Structure 1
């Protein structure tokens, strides 16, 4: 079970790192032209950059605490925060009629729930 939780956290961290990096370092106008990024055209530049920064922190919070053994409870706490982020993403994409991105966010949400429950649980 521990291996599955590490894989789940690693996959989520990779998603968070990729999303955070693009939101922080790619211009918002360019993001708005990309598939799934059209919502950034309606959001402020500061909001998009702040969201990207939070995603970069999430990537670290899903891996580093357990890897170094310092405050490992932060892994499931970060996973719960990722669940909340995915709910917001699903609402945003749903309002825009982007069903395939809602489904993708639902997969990420389910993976985050798995990591949160598994790391809060007896394993």
Structure 2
């Protein structure tokens, strides 16, 4: 299970590190081609989401790697489940029915929660 956790959590962390960093540093115009929802959100909220994603990515990797506060890994994964539930709601509320990526990330985060709790 440990190998499975590192594969799934590593992929999830890489995705969120990249997406979060983009949200944290790019302008609205730079984000719009990839994320049409940014037009419906204030930029401080977009930046906050980016920061949460970067911190969550670190929470998936650093606690199990260092052995310090390993309970943070399943908490970070559960946070990503909640984040994707909210993101799916935002997409649907804006009339965007393309939520396959959100549902995939939701399922991946849920699997990561399960894998992380097996070694706690």
Give the TM-score normalised by structure 2.
Answer: 0.93
1:42: how far off?
1.3
CA distance in 2, matches of 1:49, 1:14: 18
Give the TM-score normalised by structure 1.
Answer: 0.91
Could you tell me which residue of structure 1 aligns to residue 24 of structure 2? 24
1:70: how far off?
0.6
Whether 1:113 and 2:110 are equivalent positions in the alignment is yes
**Contact preservation (8 Å) 1:79, 1:116:** yes
Q: What is the total number of aligned residue pairs between the two structures?
A: 120
| CA-based RMSD | 1.4
**Contact preservation (8 Å) 2:2, 2:119:** no
- After the TM superposition, which segments of 4 or more aligned residues of structure 1 sit over 6 Å from their partners? none
CA distance in 2, matches of 1:121, 1:48: 33
**Contact preservation (8 Å) 1:23, 1:48:** yes
1:122: how far off?
5.3
Could you tell me which residue of structure 1 aligns to residue 86 of structure 2? 88
Q: Which residue, 41, 47, 50 being the options, matches 1:49?
A: 47
Unaligned runs of 5+ in 1: none
Helix, strand or coil: the match of 1:99? Answer: coil
